[in-house]
Structure 1
Amino acid sequence: MGLHRLLCFLAAVTGFQAGDAALRNVIDDQITAALESFRTHMVDGWPELGIPPLDPRLAGKSYYQPSLHGSLTNLTINQLSTFTIDNVHSNILFLTVDVSLGLPMLDFAGNYDVRGAIDILPIYGTGPFWMDAFDLKMSIAIKLGETEVGLGVSKLDLNFDANSTDVHFGNIMGGGDMEDFVNGVLSSLGPDILQALEDIYVPWLEEALRKEINDILHGSSRDSKDETVNDFFDLLFANMRQSIIENGQDPLSLPSDSDNFTVLLFNTTMEGEVSVSGGHLAGLSTVHRAGNMTLLYVGEQDEVIWGGEVGLIDLEADYTFGLALALFGKDLEFALKMSYVRLSFETDLFLHQANVSFAHCNVTELGPLHFKEKGAGPLDTPLYNILANTLLGELKGLVTSAVEGVICSLLEGAFASS
């Protein structure tokens, strides 16, 4: 039980493509590289894993028992390394990768020995055998997680689906016209034969793919010892800054608002109102990482927790304020400058859920505040100071809400698109 930290992987396997509004990650490229490495190694196999060469593959003896009893011997499987990489899509938030591969044709050749019957039709024969499987689709579902050596493949499932098969048993039923007739009947056995071969072949493929992917992930981490999850967020915030500028969110328009207040003057309680309008907040495009980011994985609960501190610097909010106290009313122009703003966030995400959620995402600190005004004139009195403090509190609340709304929304969007 307990939390397991997944270290040193996102920076090595994730990143951005300049100009994209949505977060992109190059773990797709790493998986593609692993598939290409898998392709080149198929001719030699993986002796350290006890996996023999896979293309061509001499499968030895393979039994099949659909409606017949028989065996295939000296079986050779060819052209598996001609697969095409149709799609690789990773979700770094959910730590999953889905891969689609295509294979125009896979051919099998060997010798057969069969005895039995299909319905009432007796079948027998011994001789050469070949089968072509056309337009195969291979799907690979990968789940990343913590392994003994760090982040790697915790689960990998590979499935085949053939569009059609062409089966031929030479000299079946003694050859001649009966051979052509029976081969037509036996063509229905293609999926059963293919499934029998998959049962032997797929475990090797899955183990070899797992090794190639882990070698890429672990190799990247070894070559990038100084990179951690922090580097991932540095890239995320670089992309976020560009998105804020391109979407016209710096400066950001602030909403109008109003509030009532009371002050005690000359032993008299007086009621007033403050209103704000025409506001803008500048500086959101300074968003950056303000400390070490964390990525925790709770394996027992299948939960991923991202967290950290986000910073902004040199923010400035401009507003027009309306003050009303007793019979007095006046408009002021205020500018509030903040040396820095800090926001803390933490996700609360279970991998079986589809939506991104936050345990919290809120402003935790506003740095030293400085404000200036225009239009106060004779209000530069103790009364003005009371009113100014009321305005300052109102403006701090508006700025806090604006920063939380924009930054938390961008974080959610970045995670959801990843």
Structure 2
Amino acid sequence: MLLMVIVLCAGLVTAAPGKQPKDDSLNHYMDLVMDNLQVMLVENGLDPVALPNTSMGFSDTVLGVEWHGEAKLYDGWMRGLASIHRSANAEFIKNSAGVIRGILASLSLGEMKGHYVCLAKFMDLGPVADVFIDVRGSDVYFEALLDTHQCKFRAEVLKVTKLGSINVSIEGLSVLGWIVASLMDFVMIFIGGFVSSFVETVMKDMTDQVLDSIDLSLLGPVLGCDPAAAQLIQLH
């Protein structure tokens, strides 16, 4: 993590009030944070990630009788969440006096692919089908604020701002082919919610873990934070 501190330092030394930070150094710092996040996702078994089981109900009228069916989706997985990366220049967040209070950056997810096994039953009969999922990336907004007591950045916002198109294809429904359109819509909505929720909870927490591992005390005079003083106050 010392490399991250050195890289960030190169940008901070010119980020005093009235001066512009070195974008390349801050960008490099954010790239290193994203590299570590990617590794954490893979090492924690989250790329590919297991998709939650879910189900969709449906009905039809046969010979004047309304019958209800259910399509269960299970054994799901999605690959590609570890493709998160910086997609535009990172920037320092400053207050009105020009003092650094945080950083922000635009991030992106690359293409993600997934799969579900689908068991669809209607009138006690039904096939097992394959559901293939393709998400064409997503735009993500990132913001971290400076904890001046600990001299570390804390992830405040990691949010999907634009979800890429979601394509769903289903093979093997045979006689229940008439539910394909409804099932495709259901899967698209479910996957969109899953990706957004994953980014804004699990991925945000992991990003915060990466940031927490980077001690910026060496840059305290530039950042305006002093962990030693904060600890002394607590002792008193």
* TM-score (norm: length of structure 2): 0.68
Matched, 1:417 2:217: no
Matched ranges for 1:49-64 at <5 A? none
1:400 is matched with 196
Q: How far 1:251 sits from its partner (Å)?
A: 1.4
Output the CA distance in 1 between the equivalents of 2:130 and 2:200.
24
Q: Which residue of 2 is the match for residue 25 of structure 1?
A: 5
The correspondence for 2:92, drawn from 282, 295, 308, is 295
Give the root-mean-square deviation of aligned CA atoms. 4.0
Of 244, 260, 283, which aligns to 2:41?
Answer: 244
Q: Is 1:229 the counterpart of 2:98 in the alignment?
A: no
Code of the residue aligned with 1:147 in structure 2: it is A
**Residue in 2 aligned with 1:277?**
74
The 5 A counterparts of 1:128-207 are: 147-148=16-17, 150=19
Q: Specify the SS of the correspondent of 2:106.
A: strand
* More displaced stretch, 239-248 vs 310-319: 239-248
What is the rounded CA distance, in whole Å, between the counterparts of 1:402 and 1:324 in structure 2? 30
For the pair 1:339 / 2:208, whether they are aligned, the reply is no
Could you say if the C-alpha distance between residues 397 and 332 of structure 1 is closer, same or farther in structure 2, counting changes exceeding 3 Å?
farther
Measured against aligned partners, the alpha-carbon deviations of 1:356-386 in whole angstroms (never above 9, x if no partner) come to 352x3222222232223232123333x3212
SS of residue paired to 2:212 = helix
- Is the counterpart of residue 308 in structure 1 residue 105 in structure 2? yes
Mapped to 1, the partners of 2:17 and 2:211 lie a distance apart of: 27
* Aligned with 1:390 (options 186, 199, 203): 186
Does the CA-based 8 Å contact 1:279-1:319 persist in structure 2? yes
Deviation at 1:325, TM superposition (A): 5.2
Q: Gaps (5+ residues) in structure 1?
A: 1-13, 17-23, 32-91, 96-143, 152-220
Deviation of 1:298 after TM superposition, in Å, equals 2.1
The higher-RCO structure (CA 8 Å, 6+ apart) is 2
For residues 107-164 of structure 1, the C-alpha deviation after alignment (integer angstroms, 9 at most, x for no partner) is xxxxxxxxxxxxxxxxxxxxxxxxxxxxxxxxxxxxx89535648xxxxxxxxxxxxx
How far residue 296 of structure 1 moved from its aligned partner, in angstroms, is 0.6
Q: Could you tell me how far apart the structure 2 residues matched to 1:277 and 1:307 are?
A: 37
Q: Which residue of 2 aligns with 1:193?
A: none
Question: Distance in 2 between the 1:148 and 1:362 partners?
Answer: 29
Asked whether the 8 Å contact 2:7–2:25 carries over to 1, the reply is no
The amino acid across from 1:416 in the alignment is: D
Which of 112, 117, 124 aligns to 1:320? It is 117
Quick one: which amino acid aligns to residue 190 of structure 2?
A: E
User: Given the alignment, which residue of 161, 164, 180 partners 1:367?
Assistant: 164
Measured in 1, the distance between the counterparts of 2:197 and 2:27 equals 26
Q: CA deviation at 1:315?
A: 0.7
Kindly name which structure, 1 or 2, has the bigger radius of gyration based on alpha carbons.
Answer: 1
Instruction: Give secondary structure in 2 for the equivalent of 1:332.
Output: strand
**Are the equivalent residues in 2 in contact too, given 1:317–1:399 (CA < 8 A)?**
no
- The structure in which a higher percent of residues are helix is 2
The alignment partner of 2:47 has SS state of coil
- Are the structure 2 counterparts of residues 252 and 307 from structure 1 closer, same or farther at C-alpha, using a change threshold of 3 Å? same
Matches of 1:262 and 1:402 in 2, distance apart?
A: 28
* Matched-pair identity in %: 21
Select the residue among 330, 349, 356 that pairs with 2:154.
356
The total of aligned residue pairs comes to 212
TM-score computed with the length of structure 1 as normaliser: 0.42
Describe the SS at the equivalent of 1:245.
helix
1:308 CA displacement: 2.1
Equivalents in 2 of 1:372, 1:390: separation in Å?
Answer: 12
Write the deviation string for residues 265-319 of structure 1: whole angstroms up to 9, x where unpaired. 79x9876544332111111232211222222122669772322222121211111
> CA 1:295–1:233 in structure 2 vs 1: closer, same or farther (change >3 Å)?
same
